[in-house]
Each structure stands twice: as C-alpha cells, then as structure tokens.
Structure 1
Amino acid sequence: MFKSTQALFGGRPRGASPPPQKARQRKRLRSVDRVVDTVSAALERNGQTSKAVNRWFAEMPREEEMLPKDKYTLFDKKEKSYRKSIHKLPKWTRVSQRVNPPGF
C-alpha cells in the first residue's frame, strides 16, 4: 500500500514562470530593442547601413508586438503541447527566441 510522506512529495512542482521572471524577460527583450534602435540611429547619422540591423527589423518582432505565448514559451517538437517554458532552455538569455514556427 502506498503511504504518502513528505519525502515522496518533496520538491517544488514547476509550472509556468512566476511573475518576476516574466518581468525580467520583458525587460531583457526591451533592452535588446533599445540596443538595436541605438545602433540603427547611429548608423543613420553617419549615412551608413548594416545588413544585420536591416535583417533584424525585417524578421524580429518588437517586445510590444509579441504575443505572451511567444515571450514566455518556446517551440519544442518533443513536448506534448509543442511548447515549453522559456527558462527550461539552457542559456535561454543568450539566444533570441522571438520567432517561433507559425501556428504553434
């Protein structure tokens, strides 16, 4: 017979990201947007352009344009719902997770 004890039920169940973690994620996304805007403005002042900056503006949505689903989760084909919390990706602060496959 199964007897429930504290040892068997130990550990913290992990669900979605807590609110402070989500706030830090939004702050990181906005800071990247500010850096790209600053670099773009500096290049325009000098009459130059950058292929990478132009590509960023064409392909990447800004933080305010992103859906919450895309801000806090990422696509994973191995997951049951094809999404998992962004903090479960190793080094997730170093990789851009702004673009996900359409429909997922």
Structure 2
Amino acid sequence: MSPGAAEVADQVAAAVLAHPAVAGLHGGSFGTTATHLPGRRVVGVRLGDARDAVEVGVVLRLGDPLLDVVDQLRRRVAAVVGEVPVDVVVCAVVEPGEEPGGS
C-alpha cells in the first residue's frame, strides 16, 4: 500500500458519502471491502495496487435509478483515484429517511 493510501481512502469515502443517494458505506458480507491502514480501517473502500480496481461497497437510498447512481459514484471515485477501474457494489438499499442498519 502506498504512503498516500490513507488520504486516498478517506477522500474516496468522503466523495461517495457526499452523494445524496448514499446512506452509508458497507464492508460486504464478510467485511472484506475495506482498506487496512496502520491502526484503522476504512470500511466500504478497498484500495489495491496502483493498477487494481478500487472497490466501493454502498448502501443506497431508494429513489433515483440505481444504475444512474452507480455511474455517478464511479465518476466521483475516478476523480479521486484517476484512471483505474472502479467497482461499485450495492450491498443494500433503504427507504428514504431510513438508517442503513434497518432501524
């Protein structure tokens, strides 16, 4: 992992969470969608080597067409990471106003 990985992972998380359709980040079924850093993890964002795809796991709010939202999220992440593939995994959807945990 490169020295700037913490900043990149945090920037990707912030860019994704700033989208109004995103209710939260999600680590996937086994928590594998995460970037492991010294002393912490950025859950919902997995960075690999420079040529590997960036994976983002999200919980989306119902409303806008999901494929449109996924495309918008890919563009937001690409603005941070540059010319690498971006995989957006929709792990769950919630009703508008509902919290990601289902409460």
TM-score normalised by L of structure 2 = 0.30
Bigger share in strand = 2
* Higher helix proportion: 1
Larger Rg: 1
- The answer to which structure, 1 or 2, has the higher relative contact order (CA under 8 A, 6+ apart) is 2
With normalisation by structure 1, the TM-score equals 0.30
